[in-house]
Structure formats: structure tokens, C-alpha cells
Amino acid sequence: GEDVEQSLFLSVREGDSSVINCTYTDSSSTYLYWYKQEPGAGLQLLTYIFSNMDMKQDQRLTVLLNKKDKHLSLRIADTQTGDSAIYFCAALGEGSQGNLIFGKGTKLSVKP
């Protein structure tokens, strides 16, 4: 089955760019997602990308997809302290049941 891997921690300074990386195993994954979870809160969908796209930009967020290497990244420009959270990469698993397979999450810490 699908497996999604992420690094667990990332620390950046306010104003810098953050890049969170993710790899997945199932080349047939059709949609890939980034979710944000703030402390004590639920998951908030940030953005998603369809597998036939290489890049998607939405304000400060840029998603890059390398389908050959099964690598997904999320770049946050001008990172702010309010961006401190856990970021989850997720892939749409097999069977098209809409079941998302999640990575373990990357904790982003933004230092002032």
C-alpha cells in the first residue's frame, strides 16, 4: 500500500522561506495534499495538487511535484510566526475511496 514519508522537524527564522519535503510510494496517486494543524486544533486543508501538474502556487504557498521521483514539496515564502504548526503531506490511496494516507507530519518552528 501507499506510504508517505516526511522529515519530522524544520526550524526557520521569520521572513525566511520554509521548504517541507515529502515522498510517497504509490505512483498511481492522483491527488496530493498539504494540511496544517495548529496546536490543539483539527486539520486544515492548505492546498492540493493533481498528479498531472508540476507546480501550483497560491499566495505564499508553492507546491512542487516531481512525479518521477515521487517527491512533493511545500514552500512557504516570507514565513511568519503564525505559520508555526505541524504540516501533513497526504496522498490519495488506492481504490479511489477517497481515503487519504498521511505522513507523520513536519513540525515547523518559526523563530522571531
Partner 1 sequence: NAGVTQTPKFQVLKTGQSMTLQCAQDMNHNSMYWYRQDPGMGLRLIYYSASEGTTDKGEVPNGYNVSRLNKREFSLRLESAAPSQTSVYFCASSEIWGTDAFFGQGTRLTVV
| Per-residue three-class SS string for 18-62 | EEEEEEECCCCCCEEEEEEECCCCCEEEEEEEECCCCEEEECCEE
What part of residues 7-66 is at the interface with partner 1 (CB under 8 A)? 8, 30-31, 33, 35, 41-45, 48
Handedness of CA 11, 64, 59, 85 (dihedral sign): negative
Shortest gap between Cβ of 14 and partner 1 (angstroms)?
26
Q: Which is nearer to partner 1, 57 or 99 (CB)?
A: 99
- Closest to partner 1 by CB, 63 vs 100, is 100
Shortest distance, CB of residue 27 to partner 1, whole angstroms? 17
CB of 10 to partner 1, least distance (A): 16
- Closest contact distance (angstroms) between CB of 22 and partner 1 is 11
Q: Applying CB under 8 A, does 87 fall inside the site for partner 1? A: no
88 is an interface residue for partner 1 by CB under 8 A? yes
Q: How far apart are CA 107 and CA 97, in angstroms?
A: 28
Backbone torsion region of residue 22, taken as left when φ is above 0, otherwise alpha when ψ lies between -120 and 50, otherwise beta: beta
Question: Distance between CA 39 and CA 6 in Å, rounded?
Answer: 19
Residues making contact with partner 1 (CB under 8 A):
8, 30-31, 33, 35, 41-45, 48, 88, 92, 96-105
